[in-house]
Amino acid sequence: MSPALRDTDRHGSASADKAALRAELRAARAAMVPGDRRKQSEALAHAVTEHLGGGAAPGRMPGGARPVVTAYLGIDPEPDTTLILEALYRRGFDVVLPICEPAYRMSWTSWSPGVALQRSVRAPVAEPVGPRRAFDQLADVRLILVPALGVDLSGQRVGQGGGYYDRFLAHHPLAASNAVPRLGVVYRSEVLPAGAVPAEPHDQPLTGVLTADGLHRFEGGTEPV
């Protein structure tokens, strides 16, 4: 059954349903033709650039600090976010990527083109080498890009299953408030009808989703950046 047609109410608990949906989405993503993944990743970077507008670089904080975007480095078969990171960096943002810490917490390290990367000891992802900051130490966060396997149109997300992003958003009032847009980044087919992702009490909804077709903002979402 396609994830979009799944009936989440018919059987099992929300978390069991979510695990099944996660497995389906993983399989579907892995089955995508590499050329399609690449094309959509390129279009996604375009969508981010367009969404940010072609105008002036973002204003700096007093003292010259760059405004921050929290992003992530997509690992195949995730959308390749390298072009997004480059576009944001060129635009003048401090692009910070998550570091997996104990107890499913994350700290943040700045990314720039060519920065040294190392494999995380806790998850199959690459992390930049450099000073780590807690989220509260990031001065001026304008946008939070969130990895996902699927996002439904009510803003519910299914991720890799660690709970890293739910914990992060739950513990940081600024991140969880609608003051900062929280945008999922997925392939087109991974945007699902409202209700397709079973909601659990700890889930932190997104304010919008980015795909190769552009930004879709959810009801009540914030004006991004």
Ligand X SMILES: Nc1ncnc2c1ncn2[C@@H]1O[C@H](COP(=O)(O)OP(=O)(O)OP(=O)(O)O)[C@@H](O)[C@H]1O
Q: Where on the chain is the footprint of ligand FFO (CB under 6 A)?
A: 72-75, 78, 98, 100, 123-125, 147, 159-162, 164-165
Q: How far is the CB of 58 from ligand X (least distance, A)?
A: 27
Q: How far is the CB of 62 from ligand X (least distance, A)?
A: 33
Residue type, 122: R
C-alpha distances in angstroms, 204 versus 146, 154, 164, 165, 225? 11, 11, 11, 8, 20
Q: How far is the CB of 49 from ligand X (least distance, A)?
A: 25
From the list ligand FFO, ligand X, none, pick the one residue 38 interacts with, judged by a Cβ distance below 5 to 8 Å according to partner type: none
Q: How far is the CB of 106 from ligand X (least distance, A)?
A: 9
Which C-beta is closer to ligand X: that of 60 or that of 202? 202
Sign of CA pseudo-dihedral 71, 141, 178, 120: positive
The pair of three-digit structure tokens given for residue 2, joined into one six-digit string: 């396609």
Which C-beta is closer to ligand X: that of 162 or that of 193? 162
Query: In this structure, what are the phi and psi dihedrals at residue 167, rounded to the nearest 5 degrees?
Result: -65, -45
The pair of three-digit structure tokens given for residue 138, joined into one six-digit string: 């990031």
3-state secondary structure of 12: coil
From the list ligand FFO, ligand X, none, pick the one residue 186 interacts with, judged by a Cβ distance below 5 to 8 Å according to partner type: none
Which C-beta is closer to ligand X: that of 89 or that of 187? 187
Locate the DSSP E strands across the chain.
68-70, 94-101, 105-111, 117-119, 126-128, 141-147, 150-152, 157-158, 182-185, 191-192, 208-211, 214-217
From the list ligand FFO, ligand X, none, pick the one residue 74 interacts with, judged by a Cβ distance below 5 to 8 Å according to partner type: ligand FFO
Which C-beta is closer to ligand FFO: that of 22 or that of 142? 22
Which C-beta is closer to ligand FFO: that of 60 or that of 171? 171
From the list ligand X, ligand FFO, none, pick the one residue 158 interacts with, judged by a Cβ distance below 5 to 8 Å according to partner type: ligand X
Q: Which residues bind ligand X (CB under 6 A)?
A: 18, 158-167, 170, 202-203
In DSSP terms, 40 is beta-bridged to none
Classify residue 167 by burial, with Cβ atoms within 10 Å: 0-12, 13-18, 19+.
middle
From the list ligand FFO, ligand X, none, pick the one residue 167 interacts with, judged by a Cβ distance below 5 to 8 Å according to partner type: ligand X
| Distance in angstroms between the alpha carbons of the first and the last residue of the chain | 37
Which C-beta is closer to ligand FFO: that of 93 or that of 164? 164
Q: How far is the CB of 55 from ligand FFO (least distance, A)?
A: 29
